[in-house]
Amino acid sequence: MERTLVILKPGTVQRGLIGEVTSRLEKKGLFLVGLKMQWLDDQILSEHYSHLKDKPFFGLLKKAMSSCPVVLMCWEGKDAVSVVRTLIGPTNGRLAPAGTIRGDYSMSTQENIIHASDSTENAEIEINRFFKKEELFDYQFKLIDSIYASDEK
């Protein structure tokens, strides 16, 4: 099983979509192993978005991401990183297919509802960036046999 980092962005908090977006991840069959609300500062956002530091929108993006607290989540499941990326859809909400989270809730590239790790390497780095070890929970997933075949887990 794999873990991935999800951020529900300020627009999701302000628009009252936390429940709807979280519900999609739950209904898919992913297991929630970490959850908290946090106000992200410039330092952590500069780290998190370091791959975009030379882009003209870097400042705007950081300003938007620090405009109100966000919801940080860690989800677990088989191939969780790629499964969540498929669920959220491509970056630009206007181009994201209907049925994806961004496709259904976003009209923007920047204001695109949700962040999710894009590789297993980055997932590990991002989970460690936003969660302390004691904030992540190991517990029995009681419905796991209804979600996976016995040779899939």
Binding site for ligand UDP (CB under 6 A): 52, 57, 61, 91, 109-110, 112, 115, 118
- Total length of the chain: 153
Query: What is the distance between the alpha carbons of residues 64 and 52, in angstroms, rounded to a whole number?
Result: 15
- Please state the closest distance from residue 111 (CB atom) to ligand UDP, in A: 7
- Please state the closest distance from residue 101 (CB atom) to ligand UDP, in A: 11
Decide if 115 is catalytic: yes
CA-based nearest residue to 6, from 150, 129, 141: 129
* Residue tagged active-site, from 48, 115, 126, 127: 115
Comparing CB distances to ligand UDP, the nearer of 100 and 112 is: 112
Residue by residue, DSSP assigns 37-78 as EE---HHHHHHHTGGGTTSTTHHHHHHHHTSS-EEEEEEEET
For residue 61, the partner it binds in ligand UDP, Mg ion, none, with Cβ less than 5 to 8 A by kind, is: ligand UDP
For the four alpha carbons of 54, 55, 60 and 65, in that order, the dihedral sign comes to: negative
Q: Which stretch binds Mg ion (CB under 5 A): 28-36, 56-64, 116-124, 142-150?
A: 116-124
Q: Is residue 4 classed exposed, middle or buried when 0-12, 13-18 and 19+ CB atoms within 10 A define those classes?
A: buried
- Please state the closest distance from residue 82 (CB atom) to ligand UDP, in A: 13
Q: Which stretch binds Mg ion (CB under 5 A): 7-15, 25-33, 63-71, 111-119?
A: 111-119
Active site residues: 115
